Chain A
Amino acid sequence: MSQSQTDRHTLESSLRSLRSRQRWLNAVDWALKATVLGSVVTLMAAVLIILVDRDWILAHPWFPFVLLPPISLSGFVAGRFRPVSNLQVARAVDAVAAGEDRFASAVQLAGNRNRERADRLIEDALKRVLPIRPVRVLPQRLWGGVAWAVLPLVCAITLVMLAPPTVIAIVPTEPGLTDSQWQEIQQQFEQMKQDLPGAQTPEAKDLNRRLEDLARLLSDKPDKKDALAAISRLRDHLTQQSRKSGTQNWSMQKSAKALARNKDLKNLSALLQKGEYAKAAAELKNLAEQLKTKQWSPTAEDYQQLGADLGQLAVDPATPQDLQQAAQECADAANSMSRSALEEALRRLAEQIEQDSKQLSNADSTRQAQSMLEQLERLINKEGQCSGCKEGCASCQGNSFVKGNKKGPGAGKGGLQAGRGSMSQWKGGGLQDTDEARQPGQTNVPEQNGTSTRFNIVSQQESATSGMTYEQMYAELVHQAEADLNLETLPFAYREYLRRYFVAIKPEPGDDAAATEQPTQPDKSPDEQ
């Protein structure tokens, strides 16, 4: 091989080794850049997955980092195949060897038509550059930006490790109702609707329409919370309606029962209890007519009894005020044993009842509907709860909720009585020692000397005798509280306060006597003491 051929061969092989090195450097450079890009992508993926499904990322914390190696590898491969310019590597050689573009010119002019001249150029160039190694010509320089890859990766690792788990529902998710349970509820609701009196007034018709809507909702087997929310809304609507009309407390049921004791007023009592106020008014007119025609001649005892019974009607706070007045006139007339006065008073009472009959009917319908909705709520809340099992079930979560007097964990607790049901964790009594430590802290504000004013308001209604026993009232409170808790997500700590409250007001055996207690006297103010 001649010298020129050797030189050309050397030139080509030098160029090849330089190109190979440049490809490697490109691959590393692009891999580093891809690593930075990959770390940013990893961070974004970690954030996205945490936002979408936190628990999954906690179970698979390695997932975002899976993206990094393929991205880096892709960068490496892309850099490896990136085109390498002969001129670029040749000029790099000249720069290191101070070749004054000899090598680059030799590479470009190797094919010059004046071969002899080109040979000399190549020979001259190789003399200058051959001692230079490719590593010195193309040194490995790490891309400065690679430091930026660290930050996103650290952020991603921190996010994944410190991502809080999904807040566990403090209230265990209530099991939904099954189709059969919904069906049963619907049937019972239909039964309850049929028991309602026929709609006579526009308000009653509106009520029926709303109840129909509720029935349709229940037929769709909605979520339990949605059903309870709909019932609650309807109850609020009824309450507002009756408050607006001023008939929220109107009821002649109790006073009508009192009239039943009187043999002369039995029919009237029955009619009033049924809510047939027009007929009741007609009965009163009939009685007045009988008095007038002397078909009915009450004795002195009868008059006395009439006065007492009609007096009950007059003092019943549930009786409308104008009816109270009319009833009081009847009672006075009866006590005065004046036939004519009594006849007159009875007629006036009848007219008054006629006047108020619509409102009384509406009040009755509303009250019945409220009661019906409460029962419906209880039905829905009752469904899905453990109604008594020996060894625990999914509803009581293995607490072996046992009915009646049978012994077992949580013994003595069962059914839907007060303090039972979902409160299966109750210890059955006073606060435990450990509970004391969980009482909320209270600020200790010393009482200052100074004037203070205190006054008590005792309304007429509060001084009256309660129509329900305390245990019944307590049960109502518990059920209402449970129904409201179903609609809310209450932190566990607050549920504990609620539990302690109900424990504190839980009726003791014999509390029924409280129904006959005299109303307490109002506290005397310091000025009065």
Chain B
Amino acid sequence: MTQDLSPERIEKFSEHYQRLSAEVSKRIVGYTGIIDQVLTAFFAGGHILLEGVPGLGKTLLVRTLSDAAHLSFRRVQFTPDLMPADITGTNIIFDDEHGSRSFRFQAGPIFANLVLADEINRATPKTQSAVLESMQEHSVTVGTTTHPLPEPFCLLATQNPIEMEGTYPLPEAQVDRFFFKVDLKPQGEEELVGIIDRTTSDDVTQIKPVINHEQITEMQLAVRQVLAADFVKRYAARLALATHPDRPDTPDMARRFVRFGVSPRGVQTLILAAKVRALLNARYNISCADIRDVALPALRHRIIRNFEAEAEGITPDAVLSDVLERVPEPKS
């Protein structure tokens, strides 16, 4: 029987989270906020899109997470010649000992708890869409058979923002399925020195698993047990609606630079991510401050800018910051 949210469970959640974060931080230098976002999305049950220039440690981060969480990990290098079956698996002909032949499903690399889709924008849209079902349904359908993916399932995709030649931008439908889009920025001097220390000597940091499969599942369930008051839900909804340019109360910046606003998935993301925040702060309820804290990673990839915004270099973060400033918290 599922236990209800209790102080002990909240305390355990926080403890496991901190332990996992600390373990990952042993290898990943300087990305405390990034680790926080990745873990928030992970415990909220969402998928993560990591965007950053090469060499920032995107792949290392995912691998470290899988090591610390003791979860099965698969890496898929997306290339232009990658086929959907290479990801999902396919039916292959199998000869049994009796000599009869049959089709047997050969699971693809998607069948893991943590899947790294490296440089997802290099594969063709056909291949990209192969992960759509797995992201949404946590299952794969091959032929007439639907194969569930192991739980917890989390797809972490990476993409390189500076190489546009030979790449296929992710369709909006797929981008919208990512819980968070995490922007990795180049580190500073101190972080680089730390990277040097950890990666260029013979002193290799070992990552120990600090959390198991059941605990993760338990934590994900606890997240969903956090309560959301009506005024917080309304605040999240107002933020999402404020990104729609056709609404009368949309701020000027959003009206001017956004072509399509945030979808309902964005509101769900806000609430779930805020719930993780609430548990970390030992609360039974989410607050408007939690919503504001998670707004940028949750919504920046769900806003589709128009040509004017792209021409003027207006980033989604700028639009969202303006929306956060102008949309007031509910008072009555």
Contact residues of A with B, CB < 8 Å?
85, 87-88, 91, 100-102, 104-106, 108-109, 112, 114, 116-118, 120-121, 124
- In contact, B331 and A124 (Cβ under 8 angstroms): no
CB within 8 A of A118: which of B227, B230, B286, B289?
Answer: B227
| Known contacts A85-B332, A117-B227, A118-B227, A102 near B4 by CB under 8 Å | no
Whether B5 sits at the interface, judged by CB under 8 Å, is: yes
Chain A residues contacting B264 (CB-CB under 8 Å) are none
| Chain A nearest Cβ from B212, distance in angstroms | 26
Among listed B32-40, B251-259, B277-285, B299-307, interface-contacting one: B277-285
| Known contacts A104-B231, A120-B7, A121-B227, A109 near B331 by CB under 8 Å | no
Closest to A106 in B: B285
Q: Is the interface of B mostly helix, strand, loop or mixed?
A: loop
- In contact, A117 and B5 (Cβ under 8 angstroms): yes
| Chain A nearest Cβ from B99, distance in angstroms | 59
Closest to B6 in A: A120
- In contact, B283 and A87 (Cβ under 8 angstroms): no
Chain B residues contacting A85 (CB-CB under 8 Å) are 331-332
Interface size class of B (residues with CB under 8 A): 20 to 34
Closest to A103 in B: B285
CB within 8 A of B287: which of A87, A101, A112?
Answer: A101
Chain A residues contacting B289 (CB-CB under 8 Å) are 100-101
Whether B330 sits at the interface, judged by CB under 8 Å, is: yes
| Chain B nearest Cβ from A114, distance in angstroms | 7
Chain B residues contacting A121 (CB-CB under 8 Å) are 227, 284-285
- In contact, A120 and B284 (Cβ under 8 angstroms): yes
Whether B225 sits at the interface, judged by CB under 8 Å, is: yes
| Chain A nearest Cβ from B73, distance in angstroms | 35
Chain A residues contacting B7 (CB-CB under 8 Å) are 120
- In contact, A88 and B331 (Cβ under 8 angstroms): yes
| Chain A nearest Cβ from B197, distance in angstroms | 38
A-B pairs, 8 with minimum CB distance:
A85-B332, A101-B287, A105-B285, A105-B229, A108-B229, A121-B284, A100-B287, A88-B332
Interchain CA distance A163-B274 in the complex, whole Å: 68
30 contacts between A and B (CB under 8 A): A85-B331, A85-B332, A87-B330, A87-B332, A88-B331, A91-B329, A100-B287, A101-B232, A101-B285, A101-B286, A101-B287, A102-B284, A102-B287, A104-B231, A105-B232, A105-B284, A105-B287, A106-B285, A108-B230, A108-B231, A109-B227, A109-B229, A109-B285, A114-B227, A116-B4, A117-B5, A117-B227, A117-B284, A120-B5, A121-B285
Interchain CA distance A121-B288 in the complex, whole Å: 16
- In contact, B283 and A102 (Cβ under 8 angstroms): yes
- In contact, B231 and A102 (Cβ under 8 angstroms): no
- In contact, B331 and A117 (Cβ under 8 angstroms): no
Interface residues of B in 255-297 (CB under 8 A from A): 281, 283-289
Max chain A Cβ within 10 angstroms of own Cβ: one of B225, B281, B284, B286: B284
Interface residues of B in 200-237 (CB under 8 A from A): 225, 227, 229-232
Chain B residues contacting A120 (CB-CB under 8 Å) are 5-7, 284
Chain A residues contacting B231 (CB-CB under 8 Å) are 87, 91, 101, 104, 108
Interchain CA distance A496-B227 in the complex, whole Å: 96
Interchain CA distance A104-B331 in the complex, whole Å: 10
Interchain CA distance A124-B6 in the complex, whole Å: 11
- In contact, A124 and B229 (Cβ under 8 angstroms): no
- Per-position binary interface string of chain B over residues 238-250, scored 1 when its CB falls under 8 Å from any chain A CB and 0 otherwise: 0000000000000
| Chain B nearest Cβ from A325, distance in angstroms | 104
